Structure 1
């Protein structure tokens, strides 16, 4: 069992298989050139899997595949199958922008993937194009439909931004409600890679908009999830993720691994330790020691909303958010 210095059990790891992305969303990396880390700098799927075997043996129960956009990495389904074959009952999920999902959904399901989270920030083609800097919406919606068709469980994430998509909060909620998909509204997380003039909506503003049409009850937090959930009168639940609140970190059970082998204890923090040299030379015991050290040094909470009002330099496209 992996336990940090604040007695939190760490049993969830997010694995970024690439920093590459086919979108340039304005809240993530709007000005990053379309380039990528040389292939030789990345851990192979076999190397990533060897480390994940250690993590699973140490008590990790949930693995989420992220990016960048994970579907840009070739043979992703084979990597997922490696994990599934080793631990069939593991909670195996993926976060994707869904642009390439229609052609991949069945292979991912067959490989052992159970769930996906999809980012949908608008149901208007022109707004989605403005956010992603690419004509994306129809591909995304087709990908979601295909994922549901093949039996994957789907959650939707939306980042509401004032003057951009804040008038679509109810539309997105109802789109998800009609398809029995949970939606989570994510408060915009300030970072140095985002467009400077973005203004996100805070939880009270989101709830006020939803309250204009629906009555709901506060359901609180669900286990270790960072989502604060609310239930409509008909039983449908939606969530809000509030990274600036202390509750966001209180029950955190996550660490993150980048495609280059950097093991990161916190979404905000730039501090990391590398497992790359250990797994490349087959020193699994060495990688296990790094894992335990990173968990031990996991901070109590992120620095958002602190006295110094810091803005993270963490590139979310490297860690999957």
Structure 2
């Protein structure tokens, strides 16, 4: 079992398989050229899998595949199957923009993937194009429907932004509610790679908008999830992720691995330790030692919200947010 110095059990590993993305979302990487890390700099799926085995053996129970956009990396289903075959009880999930999901959902499901998180920031094609930098909405929605059809559980994320998509908060919730998909509204996270003039909505503003249409009660946090949940009178639940809130880090059970092998203890922090050298030379004990050290030095909380608060230097497209 992996336990950090604040007595939190760390059993959730987020694995970025690529920093490449086919979107250029305003709140993530709008100005980044369509380039990518050379393939030889990335850990192969076989090398990543060697570390997955280490993590699972040390107590990791949930693995989420992220990017960039993970579906841009070929043979992703084979990597998922490696993990599933090693430990079928692992909670295997993926975060995707769903643009390529329609043609891959069945293979991913067959490989052992259980759940996906999809970003749906708008239901208007022109707004989606403005946010993502290209015409994407039709493919995204078709990908979501295909995922549901093949039996993948779908959760939706939305980043509400003023003067962009704030008027669609209710519409996106109703779209998800009609399809029995959970939705989480994510407060915009300040970062130096985003468009400078973005202004996100905070939790009180979101709740005020939703109260105009719905009745609901506060359920608080659910285990180690970063979402603050609310339940409507008909039982439907939605969540709000508040990265600047005092409780955001309290139950954090996550660490992150980049495609190049950097193991990161906190979403905000730039500090990392590499497992690449150990894995490449077959030093499993060395990789396990790095894992334990990263967990041991995991910070109590991120650096948002303090007196010296500033936008993060962390490129979220490298770590999957």
**TM-score normalised over the length of structure 2:** 1.00
The residue correspondences of 1:23-38 to structure 2 (distance < 5 A) are 23-38=23-38
How far is 1:310 from its partner?
2.0
Write the distance in 1 (CA, Å) between the matches of 2:137 and 2:309.
35
Write the distance in 2 (CA, Å) between the matches of 1:315 and 1:137.
24
How far is 1:19 from its partner?
0.1
Counterpart for residue 164 of structure 1: 164
Residue 299, structure 1, aligned to residue 306, structure 2: no
Residue 44, structure 1, aligned to residue 20, structure 2: no
The residue correspondences of 1:64-103 to structure 2 (distance < 5 A) are 64-103=64-103
How far is 1:306 from its partner?
1.0
The residue correspondences of 1:70-219 to structure 2 (distance < 5 A) are 70-219=70-219
The residue correspondences of 1:204-283 to structure 2 (distance < 5 A) are 204-283=204-283
Instruction: Please give the per-residue CA displacement for 1:74-125, whole angstroms capped at 9, x wherever unaligned.
Output: 0000000000000001100000000000000000000000000000100000
SS at match of 2:118: strand
SS at match of 1:248: coil
SS at match of 1:107: helix
How far is 1:4 from its partner?
0.4
**Structure 1: stretches of 5+ with no match in the other structure:** none
Instruction: Please give the per-residue CA displacement for 1:39-75, whole angstroms capped at 9, x wherever unaligned.
Output: 0000000000000100000000000000000000000
**TM-score normalised over the length of structure 1:** 1.00
Write the distance in 2 (CA, Å) between the matches of 1:318 and 1:238.
27
Write the distance in 2 (CA, Å) between the matches of 1:220 and 1:19.
33
SS at match of 1:160: coil
**Structure 2: stretches of 5+ with no match in the other structure:** none
SS at match of 2:239: strand
SS at match of 2:25: coil
Write the distance in 2 (CA, Å) between the matches of 1:302 and 1:204.
21
Counterpart for residue 10 of structure 2: 10
Counterpart for residue 311 of structure 1: 311
How far is 1:240 from its partner?
0.2
Q: Superposition RMSD on alpha carbons, in Å?
A: 0.4
How far is 1:307 from its partner?
1.0
| Poorly superposed stretches of 4+, deviation over 2 Å | none
Write the distance in 2 (CA, Å) between the matches of 1:246 and 1:94.
27
Write the distance in 2 (CA, Å) between the matches of 1:154 and 1:309.
34
How many correspondences in the alignment? 321
Residue 286, structure 1, aligned to residue 286, structure 2: yes
Write the distance in 1 (CA, Å) between the matches of 2:230 and 2:85.
36
Write the distance in 2 (CA, Å) between the matches of 1:318 and 1:192.
13
How far is 1:309 from its partner?
1.4
Instruction: Please give the per-residue CA displacement for 1:192-237, whole angstroms capped at 9, x wherever unaligned.
Output: 0000010000000000000001000111111100000001111100
Write the distance in 2 (CA, Å) between the matches of 1:283 and 1:35.
32
Write the distance in 2 (CA, Å) between the matches of 1:311 and 1:27.
12
